Chain A
Amino acid sequence: DSGVTQTPKHLITATGQRVTLRCSPRSGDLSVYWYQQSLDQGLQFLIHYYNGEERAKGNILERFSAQQFPDLHSELNLSSLELGDSALYFCASSPDGTSGGARLAKNIQYFGAGTRLSVL
């Protein structure tokens, strides 16, 4: 168990709909990363939040948005869903800038079990 919790495990929805994926990071981790895994695109970085602030954006569509709340959990919102949005969505957490610990240990990303989204 990585300590990162993602809900729900599975989501089945229709085109045009909106869904919210939730991620609770490991205790003490300030960073949350979102990744999308699809057959054609592989594993791709979407967005990074650190202690409530957006730090970096990757290949994230304008229909997608995310936020990190004061309790450090994060939500990824996907709207106007298309068939091509069907994928496995992972969140990962990392201590990153928190004090203490070896440098490499602070920069390891621990992944949740993922949310499998099926758009029909």
Chain B
Amino acid sequence: AQTVTQSQPEMSVQEAETVTLSCTYDTSESDYYLFWYKQPPSRQMILVIRQEAYKQQNATENRFSVNFQKAAKSFSLKISDSQLGDAAMYFCAYRAIGGTSYGKLTFGQGTILTVHP
């Protein structure tokens, strides 16, 4: 079974600085999707960024970028120029492409990000 691990329960960053959230996963598949979701105090789950495993190029979305290391099964999220609105719980998620696990998202435990003004 696939597992996702976020080893940092909490992180903090100063406004305008850069922070990196870590995520590792375990799978025997070669093709899959990886996602970062943000959950602010409103509890809404918001997609931040996504990555296809077969694409070597790291995904970027404005101030958000990932460092995808397939061999190491690592998928970290970098937030540049941090803003107060970035404060939230961040979840890393894995989605299989096929097999019996197809479809469902497997989530890590989450990392609470605090942004200091």
- With A and B bound together, what is the CA distance between A57 and B91 in angstroms? 22
Question: Size class of B's contact patch?
Answer: 20 to 34
Stretch in B11-19, B65-73, B77-85, B99-107 with 4+ CB within 8 Å of A: B99-107
8 Å CB contact of B44 from A43, A58, A113: A113
What's the count of A-B pairs with C-beta under 8 Å?
58
**Distance to closest chain B CB from A120 (angstroms):** 20
Stretch in A17-25, A61-69, A70-78, A101-109 with 4+ CB within 8 Å of B: A101-109
Q: Which residues of B contact A94 (CB under 8 A)?
A: 103
Chain A binding site: helix, strand, loop or mixed by DSSP?
strand
Q: Which residues of A contact B47 (CB under 8 A)?
A: 108, 110
Structural contact, B50 and A111, CB atoms closer than 8 A: no
Q: Which residues of A contact B95 (CB under 8 A)?
A: 107, 109
Q: Which residues of B contact A58 (CB under 8 A)?
A: 104
Q: Which residues of A contact B107 (CB under 8 A)?
A: 42-44
- Chain B positions near chain A (C-beta within 8 angstroms): 33, 35, 37, 42-47, 50, 52, 91, 95, 100-107, 109-110
- Chain A positions near chain B (C-beta within 8 angstroms): 2, 31, 33, 35, 42-45, 48, 50, 55-56, 58, 88, 90, 92, 94, 96, 103-104, 107-111, 113-114, 116
